[in-house]
Amino acid sequence: MLKRVLVGVIFVPLQILLILLPPKWVFTCVVAVIAALAAWELIHASARLTLPLYCLTALAAAIVPFLMVGRGTWIALVAFLLFSALFFAAVRAYDSDRAIRYEDLFAALFAGIIMPLFLSALVYLMGEEHGRILVMFTIGLAFITDAGAYFAGMLLGKHRGITRVSPNKSLEGFLGGLVTGVIYALIFGLVVRYGLHFHANLVWLMVTGLLGGCFTELGDLSFSLIKRECGVKDYGNLLPGHGGMMDRFDSMVFCAPLVLLFHMIFSLF
């Protein structure tokens, strides 16, 4: 627990600085690195591929965030090229000791295209008006909801086993995450409205906080399911107390697209 808290204390301010200080293209580079590392960890845990295919999948994941700057018109081409390369390798290796399974191919496509595409909603948000505020809200929502669920479950959790995917998850932890998400969204909106004097749609921010909390916890459980299926505890050990990059950003894969959707419909800021 101590390692988890210390990494959070260091990690969160660093992310805030990366959002606020440098040019926006630097943030895109950071998302690309996160996507590439997460893709590598994900396929290493869930698929049996050759080293060149691992590298190709991670490369595709790193390219996707840059394509989101142009609103994603070339992402289909990257998906097609990765798809073709994977199946070409599978056809060549068929009926040999290096045969590639059907499920491994689609694990690589998920890691190389779908996961980074959802994560790259952050890049899209950064390109919007008040993009830095939107990104800070989104990252804060995912991480604070996750922290609220963790500490509520640890301190108050009595009704555990609400899902067999993660038996230690408790009803109190789940509800604590939702409450934390709503409170965070309200406070963030008030700071933006009265501190920065920008428009902030408080009602829809709180709704986004509630549903964002749900999808944040769904993201955590979804990637926990993959770990259970693959028999691994963590995706990596890059971040002490958290695991790998995928362990830290699993909830963001679900939270970022939800915030983007609500902002496009209701204009949160």
Whole-number Cα distances in Å, 83 to 77, 231, 258: 10, 26, 27
The pLDDT-based confidence of 131 (bands split at 50, 70, 90) is very high
Nearest to 32, CA basis, from 67, 5, 2? 67
Distance, in Å, from the CA atom of 5 to the CA atom of 7, rounded to the nearest integer, reads 6
Please tell me the predicted confidence (pLDDT) of residue 231: 85
In sequence order, what DSSP letters do the residues of 72-131 get, joined into one string?
A: TTTHHHHHHHHHHHHHHHHHHHTTSTT---HHHHHHHHIIIIIHHHHHTHHHHHHTSTTH
Specify the pLDDT at position 157. Answer: 66
Which residues, in sequence order, are CB contacts of 124 under 8 Å at separation 6+?
68, 71, 72, 260
**Rg (Cα) of the chain, in Å, rounded?**
19
Please list the residues that pair with 230 across neighbouring strands.
none
Cα 74 from chain centre: 22
Among residues 6, 112, 1, 7, the alpha carbon closest in space to that of 49 is found at 112
Banded model confidence at residue 71, pLDDT cuts 50, 70, 90: low
The DSSP H or E segment spanning 65 is helix 51-69
Q: What is the pLDDT of residue 97?
A: 80
Say which residue, 91 or 18, is predicted with more confidence: 91
What value does the mean pLDDT take over residues 115-121? Answer: 95
Q: pLDDT, tens digit, for every residue of 182-192?
A: 999 999 999 99
Alpha-carbon separation of residue 249 from 60, 101, 161 (angstroms): 18, 27, 23
Span 139-183, pLDDT tens digits: 999 989 988 888 888 888 677 767 778 777 888 888 999 999 999
Nearest to 34, CA basis, from 52, 11, 2 = 11
